[in-house]
A = this chain, B = another copy of it.
Amino acid sequence: MDELKTRILTEGKILPGNIIKVGSFLNHQVDTALMGRMADEFAKHFDISRITKILTIEASGIALATVCSFKWGIPLLFAKKAKSDNIENGLFCSEIYSYTYKKNVTVMVESELLKSTDHVLIMDDFLANGEAIRGLTDLVKEAGATLEGIGIAVEKGFQGGGDRFRKMGIDIYSLAVIDSAEVGKIVFRN
């Protein structure tokens, strides 16, 4: 998506360790109008009429998934990390490694909110090594639901997570795939 790539080039910052910072419009401050156009872009690729639930993970995936849910009229479910007091019932859980926090994290959804009859589109703002998304696909499997695809705003292609899902035959669509990111130079995949 050209508009997103332009925003990454003009506003993104590369930090040491190949960290790409897009906090001025994607995952700290959020340009929700841009996200509306991103939703339109996803709707060209995925058959939205098949989707019964959008699944994302807290925290920064929620904004993009919310705009898509609002525009498409499809319920949103966001997986939670770790255990908090006000989750009591049966849970679907998966353990992932968080590179951001450098520790294992449990991702979970309440089992009554994800049914075997659900057709799920997983969405997130970022995909790097794919641990968070792998955790979400685990939850979909546990529920016996159907995974319709994975929609990502920015994929760090050089970290391999996205290609691993592609090799598994999963329909994954990223609006911008970055193949290399060094200070002063970002190269997008064609």
Contact = CB atoms under 8 A, between A and B. Distances in A.
The winner among A29, A58, A73 for most chain B CB atoms within 10 A is A29
A30 B54 CA distance: 10
- Considering the complex of A and B, which 8 residue pairs feature the smallest CB-CB distances, nearest first? A58-B59, A59-B59, A32-B70, A66-B66, A62-B62, A32-B69, A30-B76, A63-B66
Nearest to A21: B86
A8 interface: no
Interface residues of A, number: 39
A109 B66 contact: no
Given A19-B86, A21-B86, A58-B58, 7 more contacts: A15-B86, A23-B87, A24-B113, A29-B75, A30-B78, A32-B69, A67-B70
A66 B33 CA distance: 10
Interface of A: 15, 17, 19, 21, 23-24, 28-33, 35-36, 58-60, 62-63, 66-67, 69-70, 73, 75-78, 80, 84-88, 100-101, 109-110, 113
B75 A66 contact: no
Contacts of A69: 30, 32
Contacts of A87: 23, 28
Nearest to A84: B100
A80 B19 CA distance: 17
5 contacts: A15-B88, A24-B113, A28-B113, A62-B66, A66-B70
Given A62-B63, A100-B86, A28 B110 contact: yes
Nearest to A74: B32
B30 A77 contact: yes
Nearest to A60: B58
Contact of A80 (B28, B73, B75): B28
